[in-house]
A and B are shown apart, each in its own frame.
Chain A
Amino acid sequence: MRIIIRGARLLDPNQALDCVADVLVRNGVIEIIGNLTDTPFDGHVDTQVNAKGMILSPSFVDLNTCLRDLNQIQKGTIASETLAAASAGFTHLCPSPDTQPCSDSGSVISLIKSKAEAAGFCDLLPVAALTKDLKGAALSNMESLSRAGCIGFSNAGFDISDNNVLLRCYEYAATFGLKVLVQAQDEKLGSGHMHAGPTATRMGLDGIPIIAETLSISRHLQLMQHTGVEGHFNQLTSAQGVALIRQAKAQGIKVTADVGIAHLCFTDSAIKGYRSQYHVQPPLREELDREALVAGIKDGTIDAICSAHQPHESAAKCAPFAATESGMAVYDMLVPLIQTLVDAGELNWMHAIVALSSNSASIAKNEITGLTVGKRANLTLIDPNHSWTLDEASQLSHGTNQALANQTLKARVKLTLKQGQISYAL
């Protein structure tokens, strides 16, 4: 099978590659990168894309997503959500362990992996529960779960308040060189529904102060440093949080961090009018926080951008704000959101691809395939000028919680190749 992508701008951060060229993929392997007009080759071409003005990069790896399924098929299925992910350029996903039932056993892990394999759109690199049933009391079978293919361990949105348990979790993970992922938010201080600030005050909603994040980051950082465990922070939200990670990296602590795309693009003011589509956890904060998050991506303090995709059925968002479930369906709008940051001059596509692809792949300990001749093709082709409307007909996620529903968006994935096969084509 032959696929030819002609005239795309090739971006690969690992090789500092930024050039316009043609790419030939044969039998799943990148065979030629260069000018194909003059290169003779025999035989049939299955797919040919005129990709002038488009961007071709290594495919994306998502460090935080919820695919639902199992006991939550009303919100989405692994088949529907992995297809939506492929349409956002992802080939590899790290689903969060807060599945129902929770991802704390080899059987749940193998079930979700086999469902994804059957669907064929994305490969899963699951994050397993750090404690049994995410209860924060007993250690999960980390070593066995790691053998079952889990790339790290997290307690998802459930804070472990007992320092004794947390210390042992980290000691045990460090014993076997396993990675821990943290969504840093103090449970009690984080009991509100949006960022604590003027907007929450005016709307009369319970606020989550920034110190809910910074206290938690400091606590986890100290335990990471003490135990030597390899740590990763999911979904930073605040300027102060970014500053703490910057400081920790400067001190040589082994730590990485990501930010959800929603936090890079939206602020708490989007909630005005009680718009429950912007009810997310951790919460959207203020403009200066958003700017600090963007700056964190640019200077490398924040390594990766994750989707933090959380699809919901319509009933989950149809209630007074505080009674709605938190979370946003992100896959259908992820690439257009990146494009808005690029158009605003806040990021360029190379920053975005570093954060979505090469850095996230290395955090997930996934082999970085890249745009290299002789490698299996894991590629994403984006048309940054494609204008389209996100509506029920065009969306692929089952989640009805689309923040940008019925809006005209710019940029769309044209083609995603996973292990040399087309996993998504527009």
Chain B
Amino acid sequence: MHSDMFVVRHSDSGAAHFIAEQVTPNVAIINAGDGRHAHPTQAMLDMLTIRRHKGRFEPLSVAIVGDISHSRVARDQIHALKTLGCKDIRLVGPNTLMPQGIENMGVTTHSNMDSGISGADVIIMLRLQTERMASAFLPSAGEYFRLYGLTTARLSQAKPDAIVMHPGPINRGIEIESAVADGPQSMILNQVGYGIALRMAVMSMAMSGQMQQRQTQASKSSSLIGEKKI
């Protein structure tokens, strides 16, 4: 059976890349998240959200908060933000969740939440997997929320018109307070909506080459048939 498109989510970093190396050249591979490496459509929909609500990227201060170490979303957001010209990208979290050498991607790291989000235009909260407590990255959800949870009080450290984003699904009361998640500065539902449109666009673009190829083949074969008839 020949598939035209693979949409791949896999626990191994590089899995989509690996599949792309194995298939014939005209098959589209869409990376829907591989390990801790990348989640390109999430990063693109996040950039769309920021562009829609904040405009240009150059003057923005963006804080990404939480489990950077295990996050494919954070890595791709950094990559996208740098590509679009954002100069102030801050990563906020404890040392146990901060991967070695991440500064090489052109970001600053902050272990203090208040100073990390101070004056930020955009705050992106990451989902905290509860297994991080069992594997000794963090002591408890309670302590994490106290130190890094986004509350209404804490949000006041950021710019008054700052937007709050989250790739979802959210853990209420662990990384984000319900009042913030459902509050006026939250873009979480907008992100979901943009995600549908963006992924439709990605699929359409990825398939367009193949559609063209098929149309060319179809017109070639019909003209051949036509010649024979003549």
What is the count of residue pairs linking A and B with beta-carbon distances less than 8 angstroms? 68
Q: Is B75 an interface residue (CB 8 A)?
A: yes
Neighbour of A201 across the interface among B12, B18, B35, B102, CB < 8 A: B102
Main secondary structure of the interface of B (DSSP, over half): mixed
* Interfacial residues of chain A within 170-207, with CB under 8 A of chain B in the complex: 196-205, 207
In the complex, the answer to whether B17 meets A274 with C-beta atoms within 8 Å is: yes
Shortest C-beta distance, B132 to chain A (Å), equals: 15
In the complex, the answer to whether B100 meets A203 with C-beta atoms within 8 Å is: no
In the complex, the answer to whether A322 meets B13 with C-beta atoms within 8 Å is: yes
In the complex, the answer to whether B72 meets A274 with C-beta atoms within 8 Å is: no
Q: How many Å lie between the Cα of A319 and that of B11 in the bound state?
A: 12
Shortest C-beta distance, B202 to chain A (Å), equals: 20
Which residue of the partner chain A has the closest CB to B13? A204
In the complex, the answer to whether A203 meets B13 with C-beta atoms within 8 Å is: yes
Q: Is B37 an interface residue (CB 8 A)?
A: yes
Shortest C-beta distance, B199 to chain A (Å), equals: 21
Q: Number of B interface residues, CB 8 Å?
A: 20
Neighbour of B37 across the interface among A203, A209, A323, CB < 8 A: A203
In the complex, the answer to whether A202 meets B15 with C-beta atoms within 8 Å is: no
**Interface readout for B15-54 with A: 1 if CB under 8 Å, 0 if not?**
1011000000000000000111110000000000000000
Q: Is A321 an interface residue (CB 8 A)?
A: yes
Give the chain B neighbours of A321 by CB distance below 8 A: 12-14, 18
In the complex, the answer to whether B100 meets A196 with C-beta atoms within 8 Å is: yes
Q: Is B160 an interface residue (CB 8 A)?
A: no
Give the chain B neighbours of A196 by CB distance below 8 A: 100-101
Shortest C-beta distance, B77 to chain A (Å), equals: 13
Q: Is B99 an interface residue (CB 8 A)?
A: yes
Q: How many Å lie between the Cα of A197 and that of B103 in the bound state?
A: 10
* Interfacial residues of chain A within 15-37, with CB under 8 A of chain B in the complex: none
Give the chain B neighbours of A274 by CB distance below 8 A: 13-14, 17-18
Q: How many Å lie between the Cα of A265 and that of B38 in the bound state?
A: 29
Q: How many Å lie between the Cα of A197 and that of B102 in the bound state?
A: 8
In the complex, the answer to whether B15 meets A201 with C-beta atoms within 8 Å is: no
Known contacts A202-B75, A320-B10, then 10 further A-B pairs from the complex at CB < 8 Å, ordered by chain A residue: A198-B101, A200-B101, A201-B101, A202-B105, A203-B14, A205-B35, A205-B36, A320-B13, A320-B17, A321-B14
29 CB-based A-B contacts, threshold 8 Å? A197-B100, A198-B100, A200-B99, A201-B75, A201-B101, A201-B102, A201-B104, A202-B104, A203-B13, A203-B37, A204-B13, A204-B14, A204-B35, A205-B14, A205-B35, A205-B36, A205-B37, A207-B99, A207-B100, A273-B17, A274-B14, A274-B18, A320-B10, A320-B15, A321-B18, A322-B12, A322-B14, A322-B35, A323-B12
Binding site for B on A (CB under 8 A): 196-205, 207, 209, 273-274, 319-323
Binding site for A on B (CB under 8 A): 10, 12-15, 17-18, 34-38, 72, 75, 99-102, 104-105
